[in-house]
Amino acid sequence: MWNTKNNISKSKKTHISSLLESDILKNIPKSPWVYIFYNEEKKILYIGKSIHLKSRVNSYFNDKNKLNFAKKKMVSEIKNIETIITNNETESLILESTLIKKHLPKYNILMKDDKNYLYIKITKEIIPKIFTTRIKNYDWEYFWPYTSSNNVKNTLKVLKKIFWYRACNLIFWKEDKNLIIQSTNGVKIPCMDYYIKRCAWPCLLNKENIQAYKESIEKIKKILNGETKEIIKILEEEMYKKASELKFEEASELKKDKESLVSLETLQTVRDFVKWDYDVINFIKKYERFFVGCIEIRDNKITEVKNYEIENYLEESDEEILEKFLLLKEYSSSGLNILNFLLPITLENHNILEESLAKIITIKQVKIETPKVWPKFEMLKFAYKNVYEFAYKKYLASQSTKNFTAKTQKNFLTLLWYTPINKDIIFECNDISHLSGTHTVASRSIIKNGKTDSSLYKKFTIKTLENNKIDDFSALKEIIQRRLKEIENKKNLPDLIIIDGGKWQLSAVLTTIEAYKKNCDEPTKILLDKLQLISLAKKEEEIFLPWKSEAILLDKESEELRLIQKIRDEAHRFAITFNREKRIQSMQKNILESLPWFWAITRKKLLKKYGSVENLKNIPKEELKEILNKTQIETLEDHLLI
């Protein structure tokens, strides 16, 4: 029988004395994440975010002399670190801020109020006004918080230039079906904007002007909701026209306008996708375990991200496990009338479950949904990414207690009728990763004498595929060809090469090897004939050998299979991390590539030292002068990047 106390377990706390040597720090990724420090009583000490999480978190422990007194004290109290995946730095900032406001951690000084959020609001007057605010009021129509005040103000400047919305304090109201206008501060009607053509002049009370003004407001709303492609196209055409006329200053201004609007297209899962109050639940069955991820959304904002491991679930179905989990979980329901649940699968008894949950949570109504399309489906994907990472970390923690040795590797080779080749037994595994065919990369993970050796890991950018083309077989072929060339040149033959995939992937690799050998000299052919390969199919963990048509199945609890699973999962994690890094670098690189005076060497220096373009805003100009000249710094200022 289930028991909440015994069977829903959170990640184990690691003592500070061993944090630096533990998998908690060792396996922290480099991508944009939010991190949470906990003390021994499981209370949150500090919440932070970073575009380069690994270096940020490690800096607390490796550079203690540079920390102030408060941070040194904080580090001494840290007993565990939790991390939350985000898609980009803007997401990290918004999620970090939301969590800080909810938990008010002891060592967080900044962002305990709403000052870091800037909203664009459109009033609900007869002739609406548009301006920025840091306070939400439901009498206005407001657009979600933005993290760069400069960018928002510049965007509004662009919108005013194009759509001529009013910036005056005139009051409009209807009286006997007539539109009345009043000036509150002595402003002349019409004001200066009329004469410089920066307003649609609704104050003239012309019906055509008023109708045109209202249509412009609707277009602005669409743009603020991210529908910017049409206007960006217009700006680009005008920009190229000015450039062809050698009006470079005007073209540069239009370029700024375009970039301000492009920034509004950035999707922010933690902010834009799901409104109102939701609990988003997703799960993963992996490593012979069951993990559940929960994202709590209250008042349109993510307020909690939690992951759980379910133990002793025996042979229960996914539906049964989720039902029991939902009935046992504690909920934050203060002030709620309705709580919506997003689940990845449909529960047969969801009507009964809704009634039961409403009674347990003591709220008016519970609704359960299983979305299949954007945008709610994106939140399920967000929950899945985080619970997947949680599962992997738990798996690593459990594997670290397994004393894999060279003997384990030798036993595995013996099971497959293979023999050791090297004194130090080396297994390697390759994996491919891409996002819908973009930024296709590959990785190589290594286990040497029973232990993973990250110093020998390698990552590769696939060069033979066109962007947006999905072809894992071609990518695998390229990686194998490059590995064969390396063996030919360095004579570094591993004891075993593991292919992530099934029979067809192994067959493709064998074909590639035979084709490569045709152009080799005799000694190289003899060396490559010694290659020992297998493929490992994920679904049933089937092992395929080159000369055997049937798959081999090992005991799922065997040390040998767990060893192979570990190296396969390491390759997968390493490939995914590299793919995410490439996407981030691409976004950063594209921004700098579009600026004049920023050559490849300069871009590389900037990104290597500061990690991202966004980080430049926090760097003093005096420090930037070590890398950039005066013209380059002025260019960054002109584009609001510093």
DSSP 42-105: S-EEEEEEESSHHHHHHHHHH-GGGS-HHHHHHHHH--EEEEEE-SSHHHHHHHHHHHHHHH--
Alpha helices (H) in 367-422, listed in sequence order? 376-399, 406-415
Q: How does pLDDT run across 117-147, given as a tens digit for each residue?
A: 677 788 878 888 887 776 666 556 766 556 5
Residue 556 has phi, psi (to 5 degrees) of -65, -15
Strands (E), 223-300: 278-286, 289-298
**419 shares a domain with 354:** no
Radius of gyration of the chain (CA): 29
**454 shares a domain with 373:** no
Q: How does pLDDT run across 82-103, given as a tens digit for each residue?
A: 888 776 666 677 777 778 777 7
How much of the chain exceeds pLDDT 90, in percent?
A: 8
Let me know if residue 470 belongs to a domain.
yes
The whole-number average pLDDT for the span 167-171 is 75
Residue 5 has pLDDT above 60, yes or no: no
* pLDDT reported for residue 17: 40
We report the CATH number of the domain holding residue 408 as 3.30.420.340
Q: DSSP code of 318?
A: H
* pLDDT reported for residue 354: 84
In this prediction, residue 114 has a pLDDT band, given cuts at 50, 70 and 90, of: very low
We report the CATH number of the domain holding residue 386 as 3.30.420
**150 shares a domain with 202:** yes
Q: How does pLDDT run across 403-417, given as a tens digit for each residue?
A: 688 888 999 999 888
Domain boundary among 580, 609, 627: 580
**334 shares a domain with 288:** yes
Q: Which residues pair with 182 in a beta bridge?
A: 171
Q: How does pLDDT run across 420-439, given as a tens digit for each residue?
A: 999 899 999 988 876 655 66
**331 shares a domain with 221:** no
Residue 15 has pLDDT above 80, yes or no: no
Higher pLDDT, 68 or 517: 517
Residue 113 has pLDDT above 50, yes or no: no
- Give 3-state DSSP helix, strand, coil % of the chain, rounded to 5: 45, 20, 35
The whole-number average pLDDT for the span 548-573 is 82
Domain boundary among 580, 608, 630: 580
Say whether the peptide bond before residue 371 is cis (omega within 30 degrees of 0): no
Higher pLDDT, 553 or 106: 553
Q: How does pLDDT run across 178-197, given as a tens digit for each residue?
A: 777 777 666 677 777 777 76
Residue 333 has phi, psi (to 5 degrees) of -130, 15
Residue given tokens 């060592």 in the structure block: 107
The whole-number average pLDDT for the span 517-537 is 91
* pLDDT reported for residue 487: 92
Domain boundary among 236, 269, 302: 269
Name, of 49-58, 263-272, 330-339, 538-547, the range with top average pLDDT: 538-547
Let me know if residue 560 belongs to a domain.
yes
* pLDDT reported for residue 2: 44
Let me know if residue 29 belongs to a domain.
no
* pLDDT reported for residue 532: 93
- For residue 546, the one-letter residue type is P
Contact 201, 194 (CB under 8 A): yes
Let me know if residue 23 belongs to a domain.
no
CA gap 603, 606 in Å, rounded: 5
pLDDT, averaged across the chain: 76
**497 shares a domain with 472:** yes
Let me know if residue 142 belongs to a domain.
yes
Let me know if residue 59 belongs to a domain.
no
Torsion of CA 484, 486, 489, 490, to 10 degrees: -120
Contact 232, 263 (CB under 8 A): no
**291 Cβ neighbours under 8 A, 6+ residues apart:** 283, 284, 285, 307, 308, 309, 310, 387, 390, 391, 394
**508 shares a domain with 367:** no
Q: Which residues pair with 298 in a beta bridge?
A: 301
Let me know if residue 32 belongs to a domain.
no
The whole-number average pLDDT for the span 393-401 is 66
**419 shares a domain with 381:** no
**607 shares a domain with 481:** no
In this prediction, residue 32 has a pLDDT band, given cuts at 50, 70 and 90, of: low
Contact 234, 228 (CB under 8 A): no
Residue (of 298, 359, 300, 304) closest to 326 by Cα position: 359
User: Total structural domains in the chain?
Assistant: 4
* pLDDT reported for residue 57: 73
Cα first-last separation, the chain: 59
Structure tokens at 325: 């989990």
**224 shares a domain with 172:** yes
Per the structure, the complete domain to which residue 326 belongs is given by 273-399
* pLDDT reported for residue 496: 93
Q: How does pLDDT run across 451-495, given as a tens digit for each residue?
A: 888 888 888 888 877 665 667 788 888 889 999 999 999 999 999
CA neighbours closer than 13 Å in the CB half-sphere of residue 82: 25
In this prediction, residue 638 has a pLDDT band, given cuts at 50, 70 and 90, of: low
**322 shares a domain with 253:** no
**207 shares a domain with 125:** yes
In this prediction, residue 513 has a pLDDT band, given cuts at 50, 70 and 90, of: very high
Let me know if residue 54 belongs to a domain.
no
* pLDDT reported for residue 3: 39
